[in-house]
């Protein structure tokens, strides 16, 4: 059983590749959050987690879900995390969460995928040459990971700590989660036509279309009937930004002039984007 989350499709693609090669079943974490989160694994079934790295850590809502869930017959646990560059000590946070559940993590990996984070200065999507190179290399990487997991092997942890991994995860990760994980900077520019695509694709159903007079977090425009309003349950996945057909969504001033990215196979949880 593979539990996964994906914002722009990178982790969704990884999860689906693994599910196909391991003949396993997929569970999209946002769809599981409102339920009781009680699961029973089949005999010899593995428990996997696939997720994007956020600020060199495991996303906080993923950790909350792990804490909440109850799983029977756990014998083999693994994780695969996607990142645009390096992953810091993300593995430490996952292993700590698993240990609190009484699980021993058999193996864990990071997979470099095209960059999607654009919400701070210095961060932008990759150019097409780099994007295509990462996608090709990721396919080979996933094939290798799937073979290792299928054979029920253990003890292999291949993450990508990068330089100063503890400083990134502890200091920058803490600062990001404390001060930058906010829905408030999201707004629309004058390109917005009120199509509602952002609300449709939000994996947390956190965006509501409202008349412009009732939406505080968008630029004023009297001639358009509705605009997106971001509620507090935002996890910062940026799917709304990347999926907007008008390039109308901004995060403060940080995203102005930056690119958009969605995985080319657009495997975003049956959302038509």
Where along the chain do its domains lie? Answer: 2-179, 186-234+238-251
Other beta carbons within 10 angstroms of residue 131's beta carbon come to 18
**Fold observed for domain 186-234+238-251:** Alpha-Beta Plaits (3.30.70)
**Fold observed for domain 2-179:** Rossmann fold (3.40.50)
Question: What pLDDT score does 69 carry?
Answer: 96
Q: What are phi and psi of 226, to 5 degrees?
A: -145, 155
User: Over 50: is that where the pLDDT of 273 sits?
Assistant: no
The dihedral formed by the CA atoms of 82, 187, 259 and 115, expressed in degrees to the nearest 10: -10
Token digits of residue 160: 């990508």
Mean pLDDT of 70-98: 97
Q: What is the pLDDT of residues 170-188, one digit of tens each?
A: 998 988 888 778 899 999 9
Other beta carbons within 10 angstroms of residue 136's beta carbon come to 10
Question: What pLDDT score does 224 carry?
Answer: 55
CA distances from 177 to 56, 140, 144, 181, 202 (A): 11, 32, 33, 5, 20
User: Over 80: is that where the pLDDT of 64 sits?
Assistant: yes
Other beta carbons within 10 angstroms of residue 139's beta carbon come to 12
Q: What is the pLDDT of residues 195-226, one digit of tens each?
A: 999 999 999 999 999 986 555 565 554 555 69
């Amino acid at each position: 059983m593979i539990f996964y989350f994906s914002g722009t499709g990178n982790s969704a693609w990884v999860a689906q590749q693994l599910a196909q090669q391991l003949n396993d079943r997929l569970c999209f974490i946002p769809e599981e959050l409102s339920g009781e989160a009680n699961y029973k694994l089949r005999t010899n079934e593995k428990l996997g987690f696939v997720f994007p790295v956020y600020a060199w850590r495991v996303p906080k809502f993923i950790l909350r879900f792990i804490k909440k869930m109850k799983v029977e017959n756990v014998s083999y646990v693994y994780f695969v995390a996607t990142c645009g560059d390096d992953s810091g000590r993300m593995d430490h946070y996952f292993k700590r969460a698993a240990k609190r559940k009484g699980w021993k993590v058999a193996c864990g990996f990071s997979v470099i995928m095209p960059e999607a984070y654009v919400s701070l200065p210095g961060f932008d999507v990759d150019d097409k040459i780099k994007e295509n190179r990462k996608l090709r290399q990721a396919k080979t990487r996933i094939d290798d990971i799937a073979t290792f997991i299928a054979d029920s092997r253990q003890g292999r942890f291949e993450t990508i700590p990068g330089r100063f991994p503890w400083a990134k995860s502890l200091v920058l990760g803490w600062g990001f989660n404390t001060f930058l994980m906010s829905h408030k900077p999201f707004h629309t520019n004058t390109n917005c036509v009120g199509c509602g695509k952002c609300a449709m694709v939000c994996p947390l159903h956190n965006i509501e279309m409202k008349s412009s007079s009732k939406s505080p977090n968008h630029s004023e425009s009297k001639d358009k009937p509705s605009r997106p309003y971001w509620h507090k349950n935002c996890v910062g996945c940026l799917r709304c930004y990347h999926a907007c057909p008008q390039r109308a969504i901004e995060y403060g001033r940080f995203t102005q002039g930056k690119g958009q990215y969605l995985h080319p196979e657009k495997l975003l949880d049956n959302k038509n984007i």
